């Protein structure tokens, strides 16, 4: 590793994984942490526990703001473990000179998402720092959820599973870039930032055989699938044509030279479900406006264990690797 931290180490890709494994995991190593799930399962499997920090720029973007993001991000991590969000903490570091009206707008956004998830803030902390110490405002949220379905794990993916995506990919990353650069589109490109618990709750109520779930945030779909392939020692084959990508995101990817499956999402999740349930999962998800573009995108095999393969429409194959490099900084 480099001797100093660089932006690429926060992108959710290869450099980020190396930093976590060689520094944090090496010194904090324990059985719960090593499971590498979206949330830790504690209290004998009864509770899920997670935390996240948010530093997005700009603070207000098409489809949301840092407040909405801070609740969705943490509650979604709980939902991905089959847990209903219940209790949360909120810690805010705000810079001197920040507009009180903007702060209240952010807090109101948080309140709306809390209501959607049925969660409440039960404790918190506020720090005000001198101008220039932070970029306007940073927020940390920690959440506890009550597990509704046990056994969901990214280490349990097998050949019995089919891979499903809940929505069009890359919209959050593309929106942040467009807003940051002042790009305007004739259509309404906006972040997919949304709370996923209502969708997961419906899947659980229908008794869907879910093996694993993960929201595709930093590092996008590519990061999720590579983590699953390594943790479960399987090969995941993805049909490139099946990946739902909007024209706006595709256009921004062409401008930047990126792949949509590497861009961040904040309201799109990947599922590994038993193959017999895959079509039913898509039908359930498509009944929600937030998941209208849900689709089956791949299968699990043992062709190249620990790797993800992208199958093109022309019959060619290539590896879908973890993203590397800086990509887009300050997206969440």
235 DSSP assignment: E
Taking CA atoms, 77 is separated from 1, 52, 64, in Å, by 28, 9, 18
Distance between CA atoms of residues 188 and 61, nearest Å: 12
169, 315: one domain:
yes
pLDDT for residue 185: 67
Full-model pTM: 0.96
Q: Is 102 left (phi over 0), alpha (psi -120 to 50) or beta?
A: alpha
pLDDT for residue 12: 82
Taking CA atoms, 86 is separated from 92, 108, 165, in Å, by 20, 18, 26
Whether residue 230 is contained in a domain is answered as: yes
284, 238: one domain:
yes
Torsion sign (Cα): 240, 178, 269, 194: negative
| CATH number of the domain residue 203 falls in | 3.90.650.10
| CATH number of the domain residue 141 falls in | 3.30.1330.10
Whether residue 178 is contained in a domain is answered as: yes
Alpha helices (runs of H) in 50-181, residue ranges in sequence order: 66-79, 100-117, 171-181
Cα–Cα–Cα angle for 315, 247, 226, nearest 5°? 50
Tens of each residue's pLDDT in the chain, 332 residues: 789 998 888 888 888 989 999 999 999 999 999 999 999 999 999 999 999 999 999 999 999 999 999 999 999 999 999 999 999 999 999 999 999 999 999 999 999 999 999 999 999 999 999 999 999 999 999 999 999 999 999 999 999 999 999 999 999 999 999 999 887 766 789 999 999 999 999 999 999 999 999 999 999 999 999 999 999 999 999 999 999 999 999 999 998 899 999 999 999 999 999 999 999 999 999 999 999 999 999 999 999 999 999 999 899 999 999 888 777 878 88
Whether residue 324 is contained in a domain is answered as: no
pLDDT for residue 298: 98
Question: Reduced to 3 states, what is the DSSP secondary structure of residue 274?
Answer: strand
Residue that is last in its domain, among 112, 147, 182: 147
Q: How do beta strands 120-129 and 308-311 pair?
A: unpaired
Residue that is last in its domain, among 147, 178, 193: 147
Which domain range does residue 128 map to? 7-147
pLDDT for residue 23: 94
Residue that is last in its domain, among 147, 181, 206: 147
pLDDT for residue 143: 98
């Amino acid at each position: 590793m480099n001797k100093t931290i660089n932006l690429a180490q926060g992108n959710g890709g290869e450099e980020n994984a190396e930093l976590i494994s060689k520094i944090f995991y090496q010194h904090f190593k324990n059985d719960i942490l090593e499971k590498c799930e979206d949330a830790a399962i504690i209290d004998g499997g009864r509770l899920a526990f997670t935390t996240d920090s948010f530093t997005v720029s700009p603070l207000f973007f098409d489809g949301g703001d840092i407040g909405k993001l801070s609740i969705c991000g943490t509650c979604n991590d709980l939902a991905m473990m089959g847990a209903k969000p219940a209790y949360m903490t909120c810690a805010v570091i705000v810079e001197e000179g920040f507009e009180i009206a903007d702060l209240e707008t952010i807090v109101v956004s948080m309140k709306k998402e809390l209501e959607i998830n049925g969660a409440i803030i039960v404790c918190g902390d506020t720090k005000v720092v001198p101008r220039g110490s932070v970029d306007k405002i940073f927020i940390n949220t920690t959440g506890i959820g009550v597990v509704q379905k046990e056994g969901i794990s990214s280490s349990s993916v097998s050949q019995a599973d089919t891979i499903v995506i809940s929505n069009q990919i890359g919209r959050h990353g593309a929106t942040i870039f467009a807003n940051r650069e002042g790009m305007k589109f004739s259509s309404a490109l906006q972040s997919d930032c949304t709370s996923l618990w209502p969708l997961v709750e419906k899947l659980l109520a229908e008794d869907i055989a879910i093996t694993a779930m993960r929201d595709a945030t930093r590092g996008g779909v590519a990061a999720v699938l590579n983590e699953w392939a390594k943790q479960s020692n399987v090969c995941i084959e993805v049909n490139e044509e099946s990946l739902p990508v909007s024209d706006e995101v595709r256009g921004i990817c062409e401008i930047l030279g990126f792949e949509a499956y590497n861009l961040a999402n904040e309201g799109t999740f990947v599922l590994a479900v038993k193959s017999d349930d895959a079509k039913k999962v898509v039908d359930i998800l498509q009944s929600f406006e937030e998941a209208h573009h849900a689709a089956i995108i791949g299968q699990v095999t043992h062709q190249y264990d620990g790797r993800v393969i992208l199958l093109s429409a022309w019959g060619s194959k290539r590896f879908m690797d973890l993203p590397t490099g800086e990509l887009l900084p300050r997206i969440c």
